[in-house]
Structure 1
Amino acid sequence: MHKVQYPLSVLYRFILAFGLGYICSYLLSLSLTDLFYPYFAKAESIYLAAFSALVFYIIFVISSFCIQSLKKLSTIILSLLSMLFLLSKLVG
């Protein structure tokens, strides 16, 4: 059973880290673009939001491989995803 369980847990961690990390950084980029738009020019707000989302994505992927428990990782990522989704709906 361990021969099947370990590769599936690694695949699940990769999907959480890279797939949901991309979605979270996309939602963060949308929210930050809308937040920066009144204070900066449109091109600058897009650039700053994209750069911030890229840094967020790198930190997200690294930290998702540092957390040992898959249950804890899933809870953190899903709560962060729902928070960013609500933020993008409220701001945008």
Structure 2
Amino acid sequence: MSSPAQRVRPRFKKKNPNHGSFRLRNKTSRAKDGTIRSAMRIGDADPRSVTLPGIGALRVREDTRPLRQLLATGRGRVLFAPPSPATRGAGGCP
């Protein structure tokens, strides 16, 4: 007779390695003085952070300085942000 350890059935793993993720749209609103306010803020809490509506500040892997410079000059726009679970530690944005 075989021992209980030998009778353990194999655990089937999911073939798709991707974990659950979703996209947040960057909604903008106009202030009374005519300026456009973005719901997503880049580098507010830390140079390597993104603040998303409803979630809060998240850390990112790369420095956001080039993105902040493009946004400041009007040459760049943030349309979507796909937050996903990080492989190590806390969650973040790619």
TM range (shorter): 0.3 to 0.5
| Alignment TM-score, normalising by the size of structure 1 | 0.33
Which of the pair has the greater relative contact order for Cα pairs under 8 Å at 6+ separation?
1
Task: Give the helix-richer structure, 1 or 2.
Answer: 1
| Alignment TM-score, normalising by the size of structure 2 | 0.33
Task: Give the strand-richer structure, 1 or 2.
Answer: 2
